Amino acid sequence: MNAGFDRLSLLATFIRIVERGSISAAARDLGISQASASRQLSALEQQFGAHLINRTTHSLALTDAGAQCLADARGLLEGWDAMVEQLNEDGERDRLQGPLKVVAPVALGQLHLAQAVLGYQRQHPDVTVTWLLQDEVVRFAEIGCDLWIRVGAVPDDTLIVRSLGEVERLLVAAPMFADGAVLSDPEQLANFSCAALAPYEGGQLVLTNTGGQTRSVEAQVRFSSDNIFAVREAVLSGSAYALMPRWMVDGELRSEELVNLLPDWRGDRLTVNAAYQPVQRQTQRLSALIDHISAAVAAIPGVEPCR
């Protein structure tokens, strides 16, 4: 085993320890003893001459040097993977393989993008995918993901962000809501209860009509949730209207379980973004996945190309 491989192994062990939050858990994942994993961490700290992780009986915490090491280590290992792909001369250069870890929004990831990723894996069966669904802002480097798909702005200027499409949002309600009326003026909403998706809406709704006129309306929020499925249930129950992405309610609009309450008006568009770390060489498996997801997002009802 050469020295270069030794160093990469030490970095890989360090990354796994941080991701798992436990030396013993990392050791199990790597198929080595806890003592061996601990020795590798100590050896890495000795090589750098810096303390990387503060260890207590119950927890691990990165030091400042450890946080910097973590980001750089991931970049080095990704660069190594990309170089192996590029230089492979054993006839398998075009065969994608290796792990990918992706964080995606809960609803979009569950209803649309999971199928896209499974389709990608059918094309590339040697790629393993860890598919995590959460709407909260992630600490990209700390959780060790390769790709973060987010609806809305990506609040991390260290990442490369690729916009995949813009989400159309419209006001929807159950047919029995407002006695079956279809509204013509946003001011009419003041008389009705609103269900709000907490990350994106509060008491103010900004709407734009087909002629480009913009109106800000004070909503009477009676139900608020950070879960879009719960907001949709509130709307289907007939207790409130809500500003919803078309992709979330397209089926219900077609089946007439829901109606477009204010047909000439739309909410602000939200952008679906793909974010990833800048590295000198991107792995082919990640580049191919981003392209695959981009095509899948473009095919979702109510998602249009970015302007």
- Reported pTM: 0.74
Residue 42 is predicted with a pLDDT of 87
User: What residue spans define the domains of the chain?
Assistant: 3-87, 98-164+271-304, 169-268
For domain 3-87, give the CATH number: 1.10.10.10
Query: Would you place residue 5 in the very low, low, confident or very high pLDDT band (cuts 50, 70, 90)?
Result: very low
Each residue of 171-184: pLDDT tens digit?
999 998 877 677 88
Tell me how many helices (H) and strands (E) the chain has.
10, 16
Asked if 288 contacts 102 with a C-beta cutoff of 8 angstroms, the reply is: no
| 98-164+271-304 and 169-268: identical CATH topology | yes
Each residue of 216-267: pLDDT tens digit?
988 889 999 989 999 999 999 998 999 999 999 999 999 999 999 999 999 9
Distance CA 210, CA 187 (A): 16
CATH superfamily of 98-164+271-304: Periplasmic binding protein-like II (3.40.190.10)
Distance set, CA 117 to CA 79, 286, 297 (Å): 23, 12, 11
**Residue recorded with tokens 């129950």:** 237
Fold of 169-268: D-Maltodextrin-Binding Protein; domain 2 (3.40.190)
